[in-house]
């Protein structure tokens, strides 16, 4: 079908223990009720300030973290219902590329061993087959096949991220969660890595969830973009619709911070006051009300529903039609 992944009421609350008995006294509402779909072959950008729950969401989608509540339906099956063995088999289809190409590669393993490891874990091929596949993958990500014998420390950040991409591709996944894959890299190599990822997506028919902390990074690569604030999604739309016609005040504020390439156009300026509140006791009602220049009394008590306002354009704001 058109939908590869469906997320329903997904939550992750981390308990906080306190007192001499170590009882659970509160919780960090890292992810607090997400509902969205991912279409086959698309790139869904997932954007928000640090602490908004975007990395936690990425991990929940692959079940690298256990959800507190909700469903993650991959190709019609709720993966949160699977047992360990079933989940291990399924993980072939769902891979992750991590933010830090320095920390995510084992320094004691050769690049060839690193890329072959997921195949070994899943029992794919003979050692000879895997050696051949490693060389193919290195070539695919723009590295020389003889790099397989070298160690991660011999490479630059951009090259290491290419190794991370090759490792994710080794088991022929359908969907890859990319957690800020270029934010640790020099600006000069960011575009190269993003372009490589786009080429691979086209060649291999991959679906990406691309996590980033600002809207400028995901603009180029995304088909649709979702904006998160304090564990919830506040807006989701086709890329151009979101950038040209944002409906949520938070999205408008994030866009205000990005320069507009076309000098003919102007954009409403919304400057955010204050910091993101703590996800331990997030503000009541609309959790953005403490920073929103349009907040009214109702916003303090009533949680706005995440609703489709026009075709494919979802937002969670009581007043998005008037603002």
Tell me which residue of 19, 98, 104, 113 sits closest to 59, measured CA to CA. 98
Helix 127-140, helix 157-169: angle, nearest 10:
130
Angle among Cα 250, 256, 259 to the nearest 5 degrees reads 145
Which of Mg ion, ligand SF4, none has residue 55 at its interface (CB below 5 to 8 Å by kind)?
A: Mg ion
Which of ligand SF4, Mg ion, none has residue 286 at its interface (CB below 5 to 8 Å by kind)?
A: ligand SF4
Residues 221-260 that bind ligand SF4 (CB under 6 A): 249
C-beta of 31 vs 295, nearer to ligand SF4: 295
Structure tokens at 81: 């219902």
User: Nearest distance from residue 270's CB to ligand SF4, in Å?
Assistant: 11
In the sheet that holds 224-229, the strands lie side by side as: 94-97, 175-179, 207-212, 43-47, 224-229, 232-238, 313-315, 307-310
Contacts with ligand SF4 by CB under 6 A: the residue count is 12
Residues 293-312 that bind ligand SF4 (CB under 6 A): 294-295, 299, 304
User: Nearest distance from residue 150's CB to ligand SF4, in Å?
Assistant: 51
Angle among Cα 63, 199, 149 to the nearest 5 degrees reads 75
Structure tokens at 138: 């290195």
C-beta of 55 vs 251, nearer to Mg ion: 55
Distances (CA, A) of 216 to 211, 221, 256, 261: 12, 10, 11, 11
C-beta of 173 vs 279, nearer to ligand SF4: 279
Q: Which helix (H) or strand (E) holds 17?
A: strand 3-18
Which of ligand SF4, Mg ion, none has residue 304 at its interface (CB below 5 to 8 Å by kind)?
A: ligand SF4
Structure tokens at 302: 């009533």
**From the list 98, 288, 306, 314, which residue makes contact with ligand SF4 (rule: CB under 6 A)?**
288
C-beta of 34 vs 79, nearer to ligand SF4: 34
When asked if residue 55 is in the footprint of Mg ion (CB under 5 A), the reply is yes
Which of ligand SF4, Mg ion, none has residue 314 at its interface (CB below 5 to 8 Å by kind)?
A: none
Stretch of 118-126, 138-146, 262-270, 283-291 lying at the interface with ligand SF4 (CB under 6 A): 283-291
Residue 270: exposure state from Cβ atoms within 10 A (0-12, 13-18, ≥19)? buried
Distance of CA 95 to the CA centre of its chain: 12
When asked if residue 289 is in the footprint of ligand SF4 (CB under 6 A), the reply is yes
Which residues have C-beta within 8 Å of that of residue 66, sequence separation ≥ 6?
A: 80
User: Nearest distance from residue 252's CB to ligand SF4, in Å?
Assistant: 10
Q: Is the dihedral of CA 32, 279, 224, 196 positive or negative?
A: negative
User: Nearest distance from residue 32's CB to ligand SF4, in Å?
Assistant: 15
Binding mask 66-85 for ligand SF4 (x = CB under 6 A): --------------------
Stretch of 15-23, 50-58, 125-133, 169-177 lying at the interface with Mg ion (CB under 5 A): 50-58
When asked if residue 52 is in the footprint of ligand SF4 (CB under 6 A), the reply is no
Query: Which residues are at the interface with Mg ion (CB under 5 A)?
Result: 55
């Amino acid at each position: 079908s058109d939908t590869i992944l469906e997320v329903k009421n997904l939550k992750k609350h981390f308990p906080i223990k306190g007192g001499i008995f170590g009882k659970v006294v509160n919780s960090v509402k890292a992810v607090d009720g997400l509902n969205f779909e991912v279409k086959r072959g698309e790139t869904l950008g997932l954007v928000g300030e640090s602490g908004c729950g975007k990395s936690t969401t990425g991990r929940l989608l692959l079940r690298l973290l256990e959800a507190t509540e909700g469903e993650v339906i991959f190709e019609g099956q709720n993966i949160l219902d699977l047992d360990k063995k079933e989940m291990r088999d399924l993980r072939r289809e769902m891979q992750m590329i991590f933010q830090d190409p320095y920390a995510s590669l084992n320094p004691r393993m050769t690049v060839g061993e690193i890329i072959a490891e997921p195949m070994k874990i899943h029992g794919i091929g003979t050692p000879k087959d895997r050696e051949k596949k490693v060389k193919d993958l290195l070539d695919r990500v723009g590295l020389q096949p003889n790099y397989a014998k070298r160690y991660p420390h011999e490479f630059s950040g951009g090259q290491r991220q290419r190794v991370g991409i090759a490792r994710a591709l080794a088991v022929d996944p359908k969907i890859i969660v990319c957690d800020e894959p270029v934010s640790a890299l020099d600006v000069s190599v960011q575009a190269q890595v993003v372009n490589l990822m786009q080429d691979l997506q086209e060649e291999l028919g991959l679906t990406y969830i691309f996590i980033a902390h600002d809207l400028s990074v995901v603009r180029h690569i995304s088909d649709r973009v979702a904006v998160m604030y304090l564990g919830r999604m506040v807006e989701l739309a086709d890329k151009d619709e979101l950038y040209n016609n944002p409906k949520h005040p938070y999205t408008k504020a994030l866009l205000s911070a990005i320069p507009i390439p076309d000098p003919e156009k102007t954009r409403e300026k919304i400057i955010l006051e204050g910091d993101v509140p703590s996800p331990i006791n997030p503000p009541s009602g609309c959790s953005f009300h403490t920073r929103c220049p349009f907040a009214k009394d109702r916003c303090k008590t009533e949680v706005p529903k995440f609703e489709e306002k026009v075709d494919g354009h979802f937002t969670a704001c009581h007043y998005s039609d008037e603002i």
